[in-house]
Amino acid sequence: MPTAFRVAMALCISTLFVGICANAQSLPREVATRAEIYPIPSLTLSDQQFLSGDAAAGKPVTVAGELRVAQGSGKLPVVVLMHGSSGVGTTTEAWVHAFNAMGISTFVIDGFSGRGLTVVGPNQALLGRLNLVIDIYRSLEILAKHPRVDPDRIVLMGFSRGGQATLYASLERFHKLWNKSGIQFAAYIPFYPDCSTTYQNDTDVAVRPIRIFHGTPDDYNPVKSCKAFVERLKTAGRDVVLTEYPDSAHGFDSGLLGVNTVAVSTGAQTVRNCQIKEGDGGVLMNADTKAPFTYKDSCVELNPHVGGNPATAAESRKAVVEFLQALFKLG
């Protein structure tokens, strides 16, 4: 056995030289070479303040993001991941590993902890939904300047409440109001978003692909409203595709972790029977009552279902991987 190899392996045995050990052996592809935690200066504001561009009314807050730099050299592509109403969950880790294995870095945003929140499902009024769009744009400012990030190859992906934020972060109007990074995302990938709100000029989206993934029986954020929005986007000539999976409840991609059961999300609020439209001055209106929308409206219901489907989770992962391989021109 060569002397140099014996020395390297001896160093690996010592916990004092873990870094040297990692370099002496090849890492699994899904293991990032580096993790960096970033404070993200953001704002907490109402949806009305967001829609009217009233930054002065916002309360300064610092949220956080974790960048995992994938194996590879130079400037790498990145997928930004935005969580849903339960915060950053274990399913996010499965997606991070999938992307890191492709040589794509990941940036996971935590929009809750810095605001003193853990979950908002039982009380969605705790945080205006558009706050997560602010967090997303502020993260883009950080990534745009990072020496290991290719600013032309950053994709946004989100789940449920984060899927809604991902979908509407594509609006040109919102970019003009809040995105100060100087760049745009290369694509938008919302998973089971809520599409029940109609914003002014919401078919004027960035000239980038939008790929939505949803489940047919989803009774948390029903796919029906997303189909209607997608048809309006297609009529406007936008590059949008909705992939719908049967037997796939809300959160079906938890099947990536082997979850194959569906259960009631006890006490969680859903606007599945609400029609919400932006009115004058950025006020969100209940289209049925013609009054400002609140989570006390009769259309707001409780106890939707959530659960995983390993088969369709694997299908959606394959579809996302193939889409990113083509978009990022990966070998």
Q: pLDDT digit of tens for each residue in the chain (331 aa)? A: 443 333 333 333 333 333 434 444 688 999 999 999 999 999 999 999 999 999 999 999 999 999 999 999 999 999 999 999 999 999 999 999 999 999 999 999 999 999 999 999 999 999 999 999 999 999 999 999 999 999 999 999 999 999 999 999 999 999 999 999 999 999 999 999 999 999 999 999 999 999 999 999 999 999 999 999 999 999 999 999 999 999 999 999 999 999 999 999 999 999 999 999 999 999 999 999 999 999 999 999 999 999 999 999 999 999 999 999 999 999 7
Per residue, what are the HEC states of the chain? Answer: CCHHHHHHHHHHHCHHHHHHHHHHCCCCCCCCCEEEEEEEEEEECCHHHHHCCCHHHCEEEEEEEEEEECCCCCCEEEEEEECECCECCHHHHHHHHHHHHCCCEEEEEECCHHHCCCCCCCCHHHCCCCHHHHHHHHHHHHHHCCCCEEEEEEEEEEECHHHHHHHHCCEHHHHHHHCCCCCCCCEEEEECCCCCEECCCCCCECCCCEEEEEECCCCCCCHHHHHHHHHHHHHCCCCEEEEEECCCCECHHHHHHCCCCEEECCCCEECCCCCEEECHHHCEEECCCCCECCCCCCCCEECCEEECCHHHHHHHHHHHHHHHHHHHCCC
- pTM, two decimals, is 0.92
